[in-house]
């Protein structure tokens, strides 16, 4: 009889199971990244000086067009009155001229309010029917960006003054108060 000697099998060392992948931690990281970026965007918009916010218009002499309406709740691209507009979300005070106030009859009563509405309507018509250039230069005391808008090389203020809808600023006579 022949004996076959069997060697006992040694158990192979087991490899540890691969670790479970955590899907929550990367997702929270992505959410945190978006939150930080969003807060940064808001902080830049709120706290940078207005001169750096106006970079879109500063120094450009490129002609452009836009579709304006009279301002209501949505103040993105609209006409506030004869010398103030919103353009692409920025409040612009048009320089070198002044128009009557449409909401508070400061000195001219209802005649001033009526003239203010005519000036606003004319500015709306000029902006919607022509291409124009925008040039900015600082801010006024109310935080509005000071700007000059030209149509065919002419300041819109000069057009409104010629048509009897505005006066020179700051030394023009408020003739609508008489």
Domain boundary assignment for the chain: 52-59+67-169
pTM score above 0.75: no
CATH number for the domain whose boundaries are 52-59+67-169: 2.40.50.90
Residue 166's pLDDT band (cuts 50, 70, 90):
very high
Instruction: Assess whether pLDDT exceeds 90 at residue 128.
Output: yes
With beta carbons less than 8 A apart as the criterion, state whether 146 and 136 touch.
Answer: yes
What mean pLDDT do residues 36-58 have? 50
In this prediction, residue 43 has a pLDDT band, given cuts at 50, 70 and 90, of: low
- Residue of 127, 126, 99 lying closest to 114 (CA atoms): 99
Q: Which residue has the higher pLDDT, 83 or 42?
A: 83
The angle subtended at Cα 54 by Cα 121 and Cα 47, nearest 5°, is 120
For residue 161, which phi and psi values (nearest 5 degrees)?
-65, -45
For residue 60, give the nearest of 146, 125, 132, 158 by alpha carbon. Answer: 132
- Looking at residue 53, its pLDDT comes to 42
Query: 51 pLDDT band (50/70/90 cuts)?
Result: very low
Q: Hey, how many other C-beta atoms are within 10 angstroms of the C-beta on 164?
A: 12
């Amino acid at each position: 009889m022949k004996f076959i000697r069997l060697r006992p099998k040694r158990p192979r060392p087991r490899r540890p199971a691969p670790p479970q992948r955590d899907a929550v931690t990367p997702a929270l990281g992505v959410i945190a990244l978006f939150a930080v970026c969003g807060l940064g965007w808001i902080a830049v918009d709120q706290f940078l000086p207005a001169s750096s916010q106006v970079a879109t218009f500063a120094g450009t002499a490129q002609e452009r067009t836009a579709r304006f309406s009279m301002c209501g709740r949505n103040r993105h691209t609209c006409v506030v009155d004869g010398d103030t507009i919103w353009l692409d979300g920025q409040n612009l005070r048009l320089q070198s001229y002044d128009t009557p106030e449409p909401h508070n009859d400061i000195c001219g009563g209802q005649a001033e309010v009526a003239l203010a509405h005519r000036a606003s309507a004319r500015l709306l018509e000029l902006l919607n029917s022509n291409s124009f250039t925008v040039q900015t230069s600082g801010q006024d005391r109310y935080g509005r960006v000071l700007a000059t808008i030209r149509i065919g090389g002419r300041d819109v203020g000069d057009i409104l003054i010629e048509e009897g809808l505005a006066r020179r600023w700051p030394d023009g006579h408020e003739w609508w108060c008489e």
